[in-house]
Amino acid sequence: MKNKRKFSKSHYDYLKKYRTKKILILLTQIIILVAFLLLWELLTKYEIISSFFFSSPSKIAETIGEMFRSGELIYHSKITLYETLIGFAIATGIGFIVAFILWYSDFLRRVLEPYLVVLNSLPKIALGPIIIIWFGAGSKAIIFMCILIVIIVTIMNIMNSFVGCDKQLIALSKSLGANKFQIFFKLILPNSLKDIVATLKINVGLSWIGAIMGEYLVSKAGLGYLLIYGGQVFNLNLVMTSTVILCVLACVMYFAVALFEKLMNKYYHS
Amino acid sequence: MNELVEIKNLNLIYQSIDSETTALQDINLTISNQEFIAIVGPSGCGKTTILSIIAGLLKASSGSVMVAKKTPNPKDNLCGYMFQRDNLLPWRNIEKNIYFGLEIKHLNTKERKDYALFLAEKYGLKDFLKKHPSELSGGMRQRVALIRTLALKPELLLLDEPFSALDYQTRLELCDHIFDIIKKEKKTAILVTHDIQEAISMADRIVVLTSRPGTIKAIHETKFPTTMTPFERRKTDKAKKLFDIIWQEIQNEKQKKI
């Protein structure tokens, strides 16, 4: 309520209804989570389902505590987080620049289009063996796998958004004598902001996929390594724990992007 | 009389993969300073093409077009182009939309911005400067577009059916309003329109084009007293007679096509 105007009673009723609904939604979300955890805990406690195969919330919490004390939690999370973030940043950055170049040059865009389409439909995991040979069995290979998975989608999404800008707005800018860089920074970029943020959100998910997939292939450490290792020694408790940690990290990264979106909107919407 | 626009033997041919279309053929037209010209004609006769060439967005295939004795170039600050759609940027508020042209032309000095704000205030947009385009009505948005154009102080206004996207009521109001602004600011204007009445009510001279390839079929002078508003002009007998003549001319063109 920026201006302290008096509103009618019906407006306050409306606000009240709105808030009640909001609270109700949040409450239901929490109840579902708690109920799920509780059910899981009880079912495994009384061995209705096997706690060996399904682990249990308390066991997972215990394992997280143990791993935290031994430093393993930080160690493995750090490695995977590092790979994901580097992969995400490089792929998004280069993807953005390539999208810009392809928007700028109609010739290049038409030349490269079929290559992009083929690269996009190729399952990147198929390149695993080549990547290992080129980059060795270490972080480099994992980051490369991550970049490979993220970059093509980034290029295609952002380029399509750039190219899809309203032709009439471009005509207006041209009638004002705008050059291509002015058109890009004053028109194309703010116009594509929504799509860019949407691409970033997709990239969060994809870069985690890339990093974990890379770790499945080659790693000696990281959350993906823990998942594979846990699976191989039938320590499902470790597998579940790693999954939970992954969930939390991916969530944090997603919210960071959402925050970025808010800041950008503030900057451009005035 | 000093001439602002001189079009001599203008031809324009559109090239595409499987055809070649002559859009304009042998157009000759001279427009003096502070004159208001309307161009009417059947659909697809190249009305908008003429505007694009005068604005320097399209190059003539042959013949010459001079605006203030120069070949048109959008980088020069001579023409202000107003489109059918207001083309306001949805992420900018009204004030920043008004500055858009100034920014592109690197003219966003305090003085120019103040002039833009002065126009906005003068033409009733003062209370809406911080609002976004989506919060304004169609008529107001088109007025913002006009002020964005006028802020650049162009010599020549190119109006490409600026009223056609509006409802009838708003159209008549805005017609009067924009006519008033153009006369007060002493601008030259070329209006492209489908609406014969609109052309009669605003223009000093009306150019009727033939169907494709567009050539000049006739030029009518309206000769209304300068004090009359477009709305008053619409109601005169002279306007009705002129309407019948131009209507018939365009109708004949359409039949020729079939």
Q: What ipTM does this complex have?
A: 0.83
pLDDT at A56 over 80: yes
A270 touches chain B (CB under 8 A): yes
Domain B3-78+155-257: give its CATH code: 3.40.50.300
Mean pLDDT, residues A127-137 taken together = 89
> Given this model, what pLDDT does residue B67 score?
86
In angstroms, the CA A217 to CA A219 distance is 6
> Given this model, what pLDDT does residue A2 score?
47
Would residue A191 count as lying in a domain?
yes
Do A104 and A39 lie in a common domain? no
Do A142 and A38 lie in a common domain? no
Other beta carbons within 10 angstroms of residue A66's beta carbon come to 12
Specify the pTM. Answer: 0.83
> Given this model, what pLDDT does residue B1 score?
54
Contact A270 B92 (CB under 8 A): yes
pLDDT at A270 over 70: no
> Given this model, what pLDDT does residue B100 score?
93
> Given this model, what pLDDT does residue A1 score?
43
A169 touches chain B (CB under 8 A): yes
A192 touches chain B (CB under 8 A): no
Do A219 and A263 lie in a common domain? yes
Mean pLDDT, residues A116-134 taken together = 90
Chain segment A68-124, per-residue pLDDT in tens: 999 989 999 999 999 999 999 999 999 999 999 999 999 999 999 999 999 989 998
Do A202 and A233 lie in a common domain? yes
Strands B36-40 and B205-209: parallel
Contact B81 A168 (CB under 8 A): no
Strands B19-32 and B3-16: antiparallel
Least confident piece of the model among A84-88, A125-129, A230-234, B223-227 = B223-227
Contact B87 A178 (CB under 8 A): no
Chain segment B205-227, per-residue pLDDT in tens: 999 988 888 888 888 888 888 88
Tell me the two tokens of residue B64: 């010459």
Three-state secondary-structure class, residue A215: helix
Do A67 and A39 lie in a common domain? no
Would residue A81 count as lying in a domain?
yes
Chain segment A1-22, per-residue pLDDT in tens: 445 567 788 888 899 999 999 9
Contact A175 B92 (CB under 8 A): no
pLDDT at A227 over 90: yes
Q: How many domains does chain A have?
A: 2
Do A45 and A64 lie in a common domain? no
- Provide the percentage of residues in chain B whose pLDDT is more than 70: 99
pLDDT bucket at A200, cuts 50 / 70 / 90: very high
- Which string of DSSP letters, residue by residue, matches B155-192? SEEEEESTTTTS-HHHHHHHHHHHHHHHHHTT-EEEEE
Do A41 and A62 lie in a common domain? no
Do A102 and A184 lie in a common domain? yes
What average pLDDT is seen over chain A? 91
pLDDT bucket at B257, cuts 50 / 70 / 90: low
Do A93 and A123 lie in a common domain? yes
Phi, psi of A34 (to 5 degrees): -65, -45
Q: CATH number of the domain at A171, please.
A: 1.10.3720.10
Would residue A2 count as lying in a domain?
no
Least confident piece of the model among A27-31, A55-59, B73-77, B145-149 = B73-77
Do A249 and A159 lie in a common domain? yes
- Judging by beta carbons within 10 Å of its beta carbon (0-12, 13-18, 19+), is residue A138 exposed, middle or buried? middle
Interface with chain A: mutation pick from B83, B85, B91, B94, highest number of A CBs within 10 Å? B91
Q: State the residue range of the domain holding A201.
A: 58-268
Q: What are the extents of the domains in chain B?
A: 3-78+155-257, 87-153
pLDDT bucket at B258, cuts 50 / 70 / 90: low
Do A22 and A138 lie in a common domain? no
Three-state secondary-structure class, residue A241: helix
What average pLDDT is seen over chain B? 87
In angstroms, the CA A74 to CA B66 distance is 72
Chain segment B29-88, per-residue pLDDT in tens: 899 888 999 999 888 788 888 988 998 888 888 888 888 888 888 888 888 898 888 899
Do A90 and A159 lie in a common domain? yes
Give B-chain residues touching A174 at CB under 8 angstroms. 57, 74
